Amino acid sequence: MSDEFSRIAKYFAPLAGEEGRGLTDDAAVLAPPPGRELVLTVDQMLEDVHFLPGDAPGLIARKLLRRNLSDLAAMGATPLGYLLTIALPDTVGEDWLAEFSAGLAHDQKIFNIKLFGGDSSSSRGKISLSATLLGHVAPGAALSRNGARAGDGIWVTGTIGDAALGLQARLGRLDDPSGFLTARSLLPEPRVGLALAGVVSAAIDVSDGLVQDLGHMCKGAGLSAVIRAGLVPASPAAVVCGESVLETRLTGGDDYELLLAIPPGQGDALRAACGDLPVTKIGMFQAGEGVHVLSDAGTMLRFTQPGWRHF
Amino acid sequence: MSDEFSRIAKYFAPLAGEEGRGLTDDAAVLAPPPGRELVLTVDQMLEDVHFLPGDAPGLIARKLLRRNLSDLAAMGATPLGYLLTIALPDTVGEDWLAEFSAGLAHDQKIFNIKLFGGDSSSSRGKISLSATLLGHVAPGAALSRNGARAGDGIWVTGTIGDAALGLQARLGRLDDPSGFLTARSLLPEPRVGLALAGVVSAAIDVSDGLVQDLGHMCKGAGLSAVIRAGLVPASPAAVVCGESVLETRLTGGDDYELLLAIPPGQGDALRAACGDLPVTKIGMFQAGEGVHVLSDAGTMLRFTQPGWRHF
């Protein structure tokens, strides 16, 4: 393994924007976009917690960026760039770094972001990664997970539960003949770029699991939520898995869809803001506390745990 | 161990500035200081690489902040706040978190910074920590490590080599009767708040070791450096260790003093900018390449490696 400085120069300096100063200085310098507020988030990806040792390095890199981009999406922010930390044990070689940095480069283009800086270290344990993402919003326009009001509809983008089923497939516990579920687990699609300001009362991304994340929204607003399990949108590949995976779908994490509180009468505005991305109403916020999941017959469903707790 | 959400609420939410929104949202929102540029840096602290398993959690927390604050100091930036990642194995309990967060709180007051956000996870390996620090500078006033010019003097703040000797003391390889060297290793003093803009040609913090960090400055400027080992300031505790520790002092890392390129005639301006903090001229930049360390007799000293490579 080359030393820290030469691997930064070889694999990461080519990814840096001018703010990163060639990654040769002690810090990055950023002129903030005039008249905008900055949105800042950080997420880790840890071996055996957030990814499996055999996962492709390029996909690990892209998921690292996308998990953070999803947090920016939930705040209604436009992505700007990121800082990166990597800690690699000696057993990780140049091939891994080459694929990892190529994955970063790929998603930098897709999401129009640049590397601002970072820190590279050896690790005496497992692979440990983090990214700090910066985005921007109009002053006061950042969304919050805590703004839901009684009577707001509960909506989700896309389909829910694919990533949790994909993880089961990757662990050999489920068939995924099309590979669709596996792909959703390895490479989520952050919902950046939607013009949600003024349309939603509250927003969160579904990272810990639908029920748990909805619980965060309820707690933040002092409300309860009632959703119908049968309304929670499933992909065709998830439908094939049958009714037995319902709990996995509703409590598994890693979807990175948006969960939204939408005032009555705003459904069309939401659809217009989301364009080709399907949105589905699955329930409603009301007085009280907790998340209540109803079957089609109207009975209350109970799950053993509300959300994902790592592998 | 309590779950991720309750430990965030208990230990970290009290540290958050309003930008952190109580740590209940997906991201922080920061109105950048008007008319200023932002300076961004991130550093990791990893168990068995940057700290020892038995080190006091409060000191680990403070050193994590201070290593990053030192990077801001080297850029001439005023600290603003930070994002934090922590990944802890199950063996780490509430006591550790209580002491760790108390250490953060302590240094937040000293350096007038606030917690903006973060990410907490379990770890299947060792303890892994990082902090992303934000600071601000006047537009165009950020210092660089790459601006040295031939004829500039090479100056350092404080004393050099204490932390490397302190590490040897912590490992039981050196006597440190006063505890001074150990303290310098565990709790560095970042040199923030010095008005260096317009005084220095280039600046870097001594984190990897004096010779290695000086080498970065040379490479960035296309110059060589000549320093006299006898001029490199030693603390009284380091002087007691004798001549045999010279290589350790000049190549050991973790000093977090500033290494500066100062144009001829600017020494008094530097002293005025540094106030009570001693500054010492140790050599000069000139044409050529590499770092040349001379003995008092004028012979060239050679070291087995230029800088710190982790434990």
Residue B306 maps to a domain: no
Q: Tens digit of pLDDT for each residue in A37-90?
A: 999 999 999 999 999 988 999 999 999 999 999 999 999 999 999 999 999 999
Q: Cβ(A170)–Cβ(A182) under 8 Å?
A: yes
Q: Which of B86, B105, B137 is the last residue of a domain?
A: B137
Asked if residue B64 and residue B165 are part of one domain, the reply reads no
Q: B123, A128: Cβ pair inside 8 Å?
A: yes
Asked if residue B157 and residue B236 are part of one domain, the reply reads yes
Q: B53: helix, coil or strand?
A: coil
Q: A21, B116: Cβ pair inside 8 Å?
A: no
Q: B144, A216: Cβ pair inside 8 Å?
A: no
Q: A39, B24: Cβ pair inside 8 Å?
A: no
- Looking at chain B, which residue has its C-alpha nearest residue A117? B41
- Number of folded domains in chain A? 2
| Cβ neighbours of B116 in A, within 8 Å | 40
The pLDDT, as a whole number, for residue B26 is 86
Asked if residue A121 and residue A222 are part of one domain, the reply reads no
Q: B146, A24: Cβ pair inside 8 Å?
A: yes
CATH number at B167 reads: 3.90.650.10
- DSSP letters of A271-303? HHHHTTS-EEEEEEEESSSEEEEE-TTSPEE--
- Looking at chain A, which residue has its C-alpha nearest residue B122? A49
Asked if residue B110 and residue B70 are part of one domain, the reply reads yes
Asked if residue A166 and residue A88 are part of one domain, the reply reads no
| Cβ neighbours of B114 in A, within 8 Å | none
- Cα angle vertex B100, ends A68, B3, to 5°? 55
Residue A44 maps to a domain: yes
Higher model confidence: residue A304 or residue A14? A14
Residue A144 maps to a domain: no
Residue B264 maps to a domain: yes
Asked if residue B228 and residue B114 are part of one domain, the reply reads no
Q: Cβ(B221)–Cβ(B146) under 8 Å?
A: yes
Asked if residue A219 and residue A102 are part of one domain, the reply reads no
Residue A147 maps to a domain: no
**How many Cα atoms sit within 13 Å of A76 on the Cβ side?**
23
Q: Tens digit of pLDDT for each residue in A248-268?
A: 999 998 999 999 999 999 999
B30, B74, B122 ranked by CB distance to A26: nearest: B74
The pLDDT, as a whole number, for residue B1 is 44
B38, B132, B220 ranked by CB distance to A32: nearest: B38
Residue B70, domain extent: 4-137
Q: Mutating which of A37, A42, A64 best tests the B interface, going by the most B Cβ atoms within 10 A?
A: A42
Asked if residue A254 and residue A222 are part of one domain, the reply reads yes
Q: Tens digit of pLDDT for each residue in B174-202?
A: 999 999 999 999 999 999 999 999 999 99
Asked if residue A57 and residue A161 are part of one domain, the reply reads no
Of the pLDDT bands very low, low, confident and very high (cuts 50, 70, 90), residue B2 is low
B29, B37, B122 ranked by CB distance to A31: nearest: B37
The pLDDT, as a whole number, for residue A298 is 92
Residue B123 maps to a domain: yes
Residue A109 maps to a domain: yes
For range A208-224, the mean pLDDT: 96
The pLDDT, as a whole number, for residue B17 is 92
Q: Looking at chain B, how many residues does it have? A: 311
The pLDDT, as a whole number, for residue A308 is 58
Instruction: Quote the CA–CA distance of B263 and A119 in Å, as a whole number.
Output: 31
| Cβ neighbours of B75 in A, within 8 Å | 25-27, 29
Asked if residue A180 and residue A87 are part of one domain, the reply reads no
Instruction: Quote the CA–CA distance of B108 and B113 in Å, as a whole number.
Output: 5
What are the CA-CA distances from residue A67 to residues A38, A63, B3, B291 (Å)?
A: 18, 6, 21, 43
Structure tokens given for A173: 């516990």
Q: B47, A124: Cβ pair inside 8 Å?
A: yes
Q: B128, A123: Cβ pair inside 8 Å?
A: yes
Q: Which of B107, B137, B167 is the last residue of a domain?
A: B137
CATH number at B35 reads: 3.30.1330.10
Asked if residue A248 and residue A131 are part of one domain, the reply reads no
HEC readout, A74-132: HCCCEEEEEEEEEEECCCCCHHHHHHHHHHHHHHHHHHCCEEEEEEEEECCCCCEEEEE
Q: Cβ(A11)–Cβ(A115) under 8 Å?
A: no
The pLDDT, as a whole number, for residue A279 is 98
Rg (CA), chain B: 20
Give A121→chain B minimum CA distance, Å.
8
Asked if residue B26 and residue B58 are part of one domain, the reply reads yes
**pLDDT at residue A311 above 60?**
no
Q: Cβ(A261)–Cβ(A148) under 8 Å?
A: yes
The pLDDT, as a whole number, for residue A305 is 74
Residue A42 maps to a domain: yes
A27, A46, A145 ranked by CB distance to B87: nearest: A46
Instruction: Quote the CA–CA distance of B167 and B234 in Å, as a whole number.
Output: 16
Instruction: Quote the CA–CA distance of A41 and A71 in Å, as a whole number.
Output: 7
Q: What mean pLDDT value characterizes chain B? A: 95
Q: Which of B137, B161, B185 is the last residue of a domain?
A: B137
Q: What is the predicted ipTM? A: 0.94
Q: Cβ(B191)–Cβ(B51) under 8 Å?
A: no
H or E stretch covering B69: helix B57-74
- Neighbouring residues of B113: CB distance < 8 A, sequence distance ≥ 6: B65, B69, B79, B80, B81, B82, B107, B133
Give A240→chain B minimum CA distance, Å.
33
| Cβ neighbours of A31 in B, within 8 Å | 37-38, 139
| Cβ neighbours of B205 in A, within 8 Å | 26
Which of the 8 DSSP states describes residue A16?
B
Q: B27, A77: Cβ pair inside 8 Å?
A: yes
Q: Which residues pair with B117 in a beta bridge?
A: B83
Q: B126, A121: Cβ pair inside 8 Å?
A: no
Q: A74, B27: Cβ pair inside 8 Å?
A: yes
Q: Cβ(A141)–Cβ(A76) under 8 Å?
A: yes
Q: Mutating which of B24, B29, B75 best tests the A interface, going by the most A Cβ atoms within 10 A?
A: B29
Q: Mutating which of A39, A132, A219 best tests the B interface, going by the most B Cβ atoms within 10 A?
A: A132
**pLDDT at residue B310 above 70?**
no
